[in-house]
Amino acid sequence: MLVIMGSGETAPTMVSTHRRLTALLPSPVRAVVLDTPYGFQENASELASRAVEYFKVSVNVDVRVAGLTRLKPSPDGIAPSSATVEKGLRAVDDAHYLFAGPGSPTYSMQQWSQTPVRELLSRKLERGGIITFASAAALTLGERTVPVYEIYKVGMDPYWNEGLGLLRELGIPASVIPHYDNAEGGSHDTRFCYLGERRLQMLESFMSSDEYVLGVDEHTGLVIDLDGETAQVVGNSTVTLRKGARQKVFESGDTFPLQELQAPSFSGDGVAASAGRSAAPDSQRSGGVAPSESAATSLLGSAESLRVSFEQAVTHGDADAAIEAVLALESEIRAWSADTLQSDERERAVAILRSMISRLGEIAVSGLREPRSVVAPFVEGLLAIRKIVRAEKRFDLSDVVRDSLL
């Protein structure tokens, strides 16, 4: 099986998918993290540790780290030992379940080219292992790969780099674009793995006539079952087959023949409607890996939702609901702690949590209810008593009531 994830590979959204995939393998599962994509980063060991923790805690699978952050000498002449490289390659070869995720596709291809990595991956698919590539690693699967950092961060004109070509070997003439529905840019277009529409169109113009773009949304995966000759969309959103202005969209839960990826039919000149649930018969859709249950697609999204719930609870004077929102956010932050996606979402979620806790402190002093609503019945009662005793000319008691209200 070849599994392509758009993002969320170490997030709560993909836990059930990893569990279902590893359950298909003999026990104990030999799982390995191929750490090359982020090997250039100073925090590479931390990212590897997060992945190990994620699989151990959330998936209940122990994973090894291949230790292949670098396979070739660095510009300063420092090179990994031959023993380290061979040990890592052997771990990749022996793995039942091979996982790789975030980082740089350019760096990955620089390190993997002219090494046994591509051959090992190809052989694993032939032997029946499972390869799960997400984010940067997913970008390398086609004949072409997008140099994301160089285009989006450095500002270079759009161009393709050479990819692994594994999809072409499977008869799929596509280049993978993960983070297909990315919306981090807000007012500017960061769809299509931060390329946006204009730059993606430029890249498409460089593709040959038989090629197309295989777009995988964030927190979504495409499970390609080579033995069953089917493909299934799992996770939260959609997979898009795009050829210029024409496209086919498959929703989460859809299973369709592998032939749809190998020779997709694009009809019409405009955007095609969703391929829908009719892409495969019900009997076919019931097999393979079941689609993941719906889940929040980002920690920040969950935090914002819980912040709103907290504010509503405070407005309605519901202390239990307010506390529940605080505890739920703390649980969400812990659940996302192993995610290898590098952003400021965790810090922003923690800031929201701290704000909620601070608000609870204020409430502990002032109370949840507006003071007038608490005091008014007592004041009104005392005023009624004062009116009665004044009518009875018992001014001494009337003065006592008055003084107690001052």
Q: Once rounded to an integer, what is the mean pLDDT over residues 233-247?
A: 96
Question: What pLDDT shows up at residue 342?
Answer: 59
Per-residue confidence band for 297, with pLDDT thresholds at 50, 70 and 90: low
Q: Considering only 12-16, 105-109, 257-261, 337-341, which range has the smallest mean pLDDT?
A: 337-341
Q: Considering only 60-64, 150-154, 280-284, 303-307, which range has the smallest mean pLDDT?
A: 280-284
Count of alpha carbons within 13 angstroms of residue 269, beta-carbon side:
0
Question: What pLDDT shows up at residue 341?
Answer: 62
Superfamily grouping for domain 2-285:
Class I glutamine amidotransferase (GATase) domain (3.40.50.880)
Per-residue confidence band for 38, with pLDDT thresholds at 50, 70 and 90: very high
**Residues whose CB falls within 8 Å of the CB of residue 245, separated by 6 or more in sequence, listed in order:** 269, 270, 271
pLDDT (tens digit per residue) in 367-394: 776 667 667 788 888 888 888 888 888 8
Question: What pLDDT shows up at residue 41?
Answer: 96
Q: Considering only 142-156, 210-224, 242-256, 295-309, which range has the smallest mean pLDDT?
A: 295-309
Question: What pLDDT shows up at residue 287?
Answer: 42
Q: Is the pLDDT of residue 8 over 60?
A: yes
DSSP, residue by residue, 82-149: HHHHHHHHHHHHH-SEEEE-SS-HHHHHHHHTTSTHHHHHHHHHHHT-EEEEEHHHHHTSSSEE--HI
Helix (H) or strand (E) holding 233: strand 230-235
Q: Is the pLDDT of residue 144 over 90?
A: yes
Q: Is 11 helix (H, G, I), strand (E, B) or coil?
A: coil
Q: Among 141, 105, 102, which residue's Cα sits nearest to residue 9? A: 102
Would you give the distance in Å from CA 76 to the centre of its chain?
35
Q: Do the beta carbons of residue 15 and residue 294 sit within 8 Å? A: no
Per-residue confidence band for 22, with pLDDT thresholds at 50, 70 and 90: very high
Would you give the distance in Å from CA 77 to the centre of its chain?
36
Task: Tell how strand 230-235 and strand 255-257 pair up.
Answer: antiparallel
Q: Give percent of the chain above pLDDT 90.
A: 67
Q: Is the pLDDT of residue 285 over 50?
A: no
Q: Among 152, 168, 36, 167, which residue's Cα sits nearest to residue 102? A: 36
Q: Once rounded to an integer, what is the mean pLDDT over residues 102-128?
A: 97
Question: What pLDDT shows up at residue 43?
Answer: 95
Cis peptide upstream of residue 28 (ω within 30 degrees of 0): yes
Q: Once rounded to an integer, what is the mean pLDDT over residues 396-400?
A: 83
For residue 169, count CB atoms less than 10 angstroms from its CB and return exposed for 0-12, middle for 13-18, buried for 19 or more. middle
Q: Once rounded to an integer, what is the mean pLDDT over residues 111-117?
A: 97
Helix (H) or strand (E) holding 398: helix 395-405
Instruction: Tell me the whole-structure pTM to 2 decimals.
Output: 0.75
**Residues whose CB falls within 8 Å of the CB of residue 126, separated by 6 or more in sequence, listed in order:** none
User: What count of other Cβ atoms lies within 10 Å of the Cβ of residue 256?
Assistant: 22
**Residues whose CB falls within 8 Å of the CB of residue 334, separated by 6 or more in sequence, listed in order:** none
In this structure, what DSSP letter does residue 280 have?
Answer: S
Q: Where are the domains of the chain?
A: 2-285, 299-366, 371-405
Question: What pLDDT shows up at residue 78?
Answer: 85
Q: Is 268 left (phi over 0), alpha (psi -120 to 50) or beta?
A: left
Per-residue confidence band for 185, with pLDDT thresholds at 50, 70 and 90: confident
Question: What pLDDT shows up at residue 272?
Answer: 46
* Residue 231, token pair as written in the block: 């493909």
pLDDT (tens digit per residue) in 72-94: 998 888 889 999 999 999 999 99
Mean pLDDT for the chain?
Answer: 89
CA distances to 32, 57, 95, 351 from 335, in Å: 22, 10, 26, 17
As a whole number of Å, the CA-based R_g of the chain is: 29
* Residue 293, token pair as written in the block: 């249950």
Q: Give percent of the chain above pLDDT 70.
A: 90
pLDDT greater at residue 171 or residue 304: 171
